[in-house]
Amino acid sequence: MNWDQVEGNWEQFKGKAQRQWGKLTDDDLSVVKGNRQELAGRIQERYGKGKEEAEREIDDWLARNDQAG
């Protein structure tokens, strides 16, 4: 799965993102609107992670969602 698919179907993926990163609020996810950099920034902010770690988590999340169908 590529990020364009997530971005184009953000409303569908928003719940999955919230389950993955429970500290992200509905407001956070509304601001993200499918923007990968914005999501990474919110993960960094809420979890105190570095940019590379946040990006790696997003890549892992994408891979798992791809396998899930």
Angle between helix axes 51-68 and 36-47 (nearest 10 degrees) is: 120
- The pair of three-digit structure tokens given for residue 23, joined into one six-digit string: 């500290």
Q: Which of 5, 21, 11 is nearest to 68 (CA)?
A: 5
Q: CA 52, CA 11: separation in Å to the nearest integer?
A: 25
- Name the band, by pLDDT with cuts 50, 70 and 90, for residue 18: very high
**In the predicted model, what is the mean pLDDT of residues 7-36?**
95
Q: CA 47, CA 3: separation in Å to the nearest integer?
A: 22
Which domains are present in the chain?
7-68 (1.10.1470.10)
| DSSP 8-state assignment for residue 21 | S
CB atoms within 10 A of CB 48: 8
pLDDT at position 69: 54
pLDDT at position 66: 81
**Global model pTM greater than 0.95:** no
pLDDT (tens digit per residue) in 32-49: 999 999 999 999 999 999
